[in-house]
């Protein structure tokens, strides 16, 4: 006569230990050619697509480093997509009010980031760094230093505009804070 084993499952969702089953589990490998690591990190194949690549952590980092959300779009389509994303996600901007965002993590506008790029600064640069970089670059292309040089005058105007954008942003931050 066989002995009846008493169950320890009293209806709780995972009363037993995790990973206690003996069945073979399905494991997806990294989609990077030649990689034999488990693919645990999903990455979109194209923007706004439900299809995903599955990479290991190392290859997901490589993929994300080269990801361009606006790849394959002309300037008009990229601007339209940016406007749509800004409109759809504008509620998340409220987090900046509570001080959750800091420099370099989405708290700067696209114009500020372009201005910082023109001054060859990182997104988390403070305003003292902006002043130093602007003075150094402005001295190189100032119209008094290079009179009659149209390219230098154009570069100087771009630097002036970048500085004004960053100065106005800094004043807004001081006013809010």
Which CATH number goes with the domain that contains 169? 1.10.287.110
Question: Which stretch of 73-82, 83-92, 119-128 has the lowest confidence by average pLDDT?
Answer: 83-92
Let me know whether 126 and 175 are in one domain.
Answer: yes
Percent of the chain with pLDDT over 90: 22
Let me know whether 120 and 177 are in one domain.
Answer: yes
Over residues 141-146, mean pLDDT: 88
Residue 161 confidence (pLDDT): 92
Confidence of residue 101 (pLDDT cuts 50, 70, 90): very low
Whether 108 and 116 have beta carbons less than 8 Å apart is answered as yes
Higher pLDDT, 95 or 30: 30
* Structural domain that includes position 61: 28-74
Angle at CA of residue 169, ends 95 and 69, nearest 5°:
60
Residue 11 confidence (pLDDT): 59
Residues 6+ apart with CB under 8 A from 110: 82
pLDDT over 80 (residue 98): no
pLDDT over 60 (residue 99): no
- Report the alpha-carbon distance of residue 37 to residue 29 in Å, rounded: 6
Which of 74, 93, 128 corresponds to the end of one domain? 74
- Average pLDDT in the chain: 80
Q: Which residues pair with 54 in a beta bridge?
A: 42
* Residue 12, domain member (yes or no): no
Instruction: Tally the domains of the chain.
Output: 2
* Residue 117, domain member (yes or no): yes
- Report the alpha-carbon distance of residue 154 to residue 172 in Å, rounded: 27
């Amino acid at each position: 006569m066989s002995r009846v084993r008493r169950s320890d499952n009293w209806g709780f969702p995972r009363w037993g230990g995790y990973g206690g089953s003996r069945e073979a589990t399905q494991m997806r490998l990294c989609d990077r050619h030649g990689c034999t690591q488990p693919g645990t990190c999903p990455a979109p194949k194209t923007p706004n697509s439900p299809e995903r690549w599955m990479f290991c952590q190392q290859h997901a980092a490589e993929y994300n480093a080269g990801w361009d959300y606006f790849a394959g779009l002309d300037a008009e389509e990229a601007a339209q997509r940016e406007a749509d994303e800004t409109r759809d996600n504008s509620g998340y901007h409220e987090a900046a009010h509570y001080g959750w965002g800091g420099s370099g993590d989405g708290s700067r506008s696209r114009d500020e980031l372009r201005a910082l790029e023109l001054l060859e600064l990182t997104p988390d640069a403070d305003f003292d760094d902006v002043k130093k970089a602007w003075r150094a670059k402005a001295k190189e292309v100032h119209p008094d230093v290079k009179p009659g040089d149209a390219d230098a005058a154009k570069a100087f105007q771009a630097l002036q505009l970048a500085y004004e954008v960053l100065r106005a942003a800094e004043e807004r931050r001081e006013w809010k804070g």
